[in-house]
Every structure is written in C-alpha cells, then in structure tokens.
Copies of this chain bind each other. A is one copy, B any other.
Amino acid sequence: MARGILTEPLTRDAFAPFGDVIETSGDPTMIINQGKCGRYHDLAALDMAGANARAGISLFLSEKRTLPYLLEMVERHPLGSQAFLPMTQAAFLVIVCPDDNGKPGHPRAFITEPGQGINLHRNIWHGVLTPLSDPGLFSVVDRIGDGDNLEEFRFEEPYEVVRGS
C-alpha cells in the first residue's frame, strides 16, 4: 500500500525551506531595453561547493509523468544547488523532503504555475524531474565539477502523490 501525499501550489513561502521559486512576481527589479523589458534580478542562490566547482547550463529532456504518481525514491546533491527552468509554459511537479537525521523525512509535493522555475538548495532531498506534459524540456543550472554529487534513497514503502488542489 502506498501512502498518500496531496499536491500543494508552489509559493515562495512554502518552498523557502527547500529552495528558491524563480518567477516574475511583483514589479521587475529594473526596466531595461528602452522600457520594453522587465528584469527580475538574481532570483536563485547558486551554491557550488568542492573541487573545481562551477555553475553550468545543461538541458534535460524527460518523459512526462501523470498523477497519481508513485514516488519510490528521492535523491540529493551534497555538493551543489540545482535549478530547473522549464522551456515550456506548462506546470510540473516538484517533490522535496526535509532531512531527518540523514534520511528523507515526509515528502511534500508542489505543482508549479506556468512560468515558474525552481532552484533546489544544496543537499535538499528531492524527487527526479517530473514534467506533467510533453515536451519535458528544461534548462538546468547545476554544478560542474569533481567529486560524488549524488546520494539516492529508496523508500521502503512508496508514496502516492495525488492532486490536492
């Protein structure tokens, strides 16, 4: 039997313990390009640790998932933050867990609004990329460098993520 998790809307306050919501909320930080463009400035805390570490841009092209979604494992990156910036105007699912003595605690599942991206802080437990529509194409800003930057955890009993709102 899978344990149920209800999805929540993605907001900065709710997501603050896990990372940054990258969105155009409120007024732009500055207006550029002869008044034709708003810049929302420096929205993510990039954090690249360890040997020869730097930020890089990669693309992820993922199969879409559907709700209800069976969550069997999570992972974390001890050496770097990881930002997911959708290249479509579609919602995606973001699963994160607080840490509980080195293991993932009870998961939370967020559904983005179109136009929202996220930056997972370093070492935050999270589910793999889960777009909810095709194409599941994302720009990813994460750590390029040496060292083991992946830890995985498989739940003894999976969770079932169900749309909550």
Task: Give CA–CA (A46, B58) in the complex, Å.
Answer: 12
Q: Does B37 lie within 8 Å of A57, measured CB to CB?
A: no
Task: Give CA–CA (A32, B60) in the complex, Å.
Answer: 9
User: Min CB distance, A51 to chain B, in Å?
Assistant: 16
Q: Collect the chain B residues with CB atoms within 8 Å of residue A22's CB.
A: 57, 59, 139
Q: Collect the chain B residues with CB atoms within 8 Å of residue A85's CB.
A: 57, 85, 87, 139
User: Min CB distance, A86 to chain B, in Å?
Assistant: 6
Q: Does B60 lie within 8 Å of A37, measured CB to CB?
A: yes
User: Min CB distance, A80 to chain B, in Å?
Assistant: 12
Q: How does the 8 Å CB contact mask read for A112-132 relative to B, with 1 for contact and 0 for none?
A: 000101010000000011000
Task: Give CA–CA (A86, B140) in the complex, Å.
Answer: 12
Q: Collect the chain B residues with CB atoms within 8 Å of residue A140's CB.
A: 39
Q: Does A87 lie within 8 Å of B117, measured CB to CB?
A: yes
Given A129-B33, A137-B115: A144 touches B42 (CB 8 Å cut-off): yes
Contact of A58 among B39, B63, B86, B137 (CB under 8 A): B39
**Cβ contacts A to B, 29 pairs, < 8 Å:** A22-B57, A22-B139, A23-B59, A33-B62, A33-B129, A37-B60, A37-B61, A37-B128, A38-B60, A38-B62, A39-B58, A40-B60, A41-B56, A42-B56, A42-B57, A43-B58, A44-B56, A44-B57, A46-B55, A46-B57, A57-B85, A57-B117, A57-B119, A86-B87, A88-B88, A89-B89, A115-B135, A115-B137, A139-B139
